[in-house]
Amino acid sequence: MEWEYERLTIARDFSRSVVTKMLVERAEHGGWELDRVRVSPDGTRRVVLRRKIIRVRPTLFRPMA
């Protein structure tokens, strides 16, 4: 299974509820899930989101006889 990652840095100025709404929006419309959150001593949040990479395999074409 392969994953695609997105790293976000969120300033301490944003409230917890605003950050939650932003991450929920990304999850619902972008297919992202929360992988990791780190809060630094200055209040900055470092967020890592991930989603599965779905590979489409080519199908064989068989003409109808």
pLDDT in tens, 39-61: 999 999 999 999 999 888 887 77
pLDDT for the residue numbered 39 = 96
Assess contact for 33 and 18: CB atoms under 8 A.
no
Q: Is residue 30 in some structural domain?
A: yes
> Does 63 reside within a domain?
no
The pLDDT, as a whole number, for residue 58 is 80
**What does the angle CA 47 – CA 52 – CA 57 come to, to the nearest 5 degrees?**
155
Q: What is the pLDDT of residue 65?
A: 63
| H or E stretch covering 25 | helix 16-30
Residue range of the domain that includes 23: 3-52
Q: Does residue 58 belong to any structural domain of this protein?
A: no
Please check whether residue 65 lies inside any domain of the structure. no
Q: Residue 46: inside a domain, yes or no?
A: yes
> Is 8 part of a structural domain of the chain?
yes
- pLDDT tens column, 12-30: 999 999 999 999 999 999 9
| Number of domains within the chain | 1
Residues with Cβ within 8 Å of residue 49, at least 6 apart in sequence? 5, 6, 7, 8, 23, 26, 27, 32, 33, 34, 35
Which run of H or E residues covers position 32?
Answer: none
Residue 61: inside a domain, yes or no?
A: no
